[in-house]
Amino acid sequence: MKMANSLRGEVLNLYKNLLYLGRDYPKGEDYFKRRLKNVFLKNKDVKDPEKIKELIGRGKFVIKELEALYFLRKYRTMKQRYYSDVNKTD
């Protein structure tokens, strides 16, 4: 039971981090929150610690993907703002 409690903290932390990252999701914060809640509710009855760790790993992967998405969007915006396209013809 002790292991389940430590994993519970990890799961809650993962949920909070994903909620925070979902604020800037391209399809909207409400869409992201709804999808996130559905995924966590779907897996709420999982009791196997190994399966929980696997799901936490998948969640951490999603965090990395979201961070990459946001970084790329920021990079594209900065590039459009500060660099003119040399291939453009007027």
Looking at residue 73, its pLDDT comes to 85
Look up the pTM and report it: 0.76
Position 51 scores a pLDDT of 94
What gap in Å lies between CA 18 and CA 22, rounded to an integer? 6
3-class secondary structure, 28 = coil
Answer yes or no: are the C-beta atoms of 26 and 72 closer than 8 Å.
no
Q: Which residues of the chain have pLDDT under 70?
A: 1-4, 84-90
> What pLDDT score was predicted for residue 1?
52
DSSP state of 44: T
User: How many CB atoms neighbour CB 27 within 10 A?
Assistant: 9
Q: Which residue has the tokens 């779907």?
A: 42
> Which pLDDT value is given to residue 2?
58
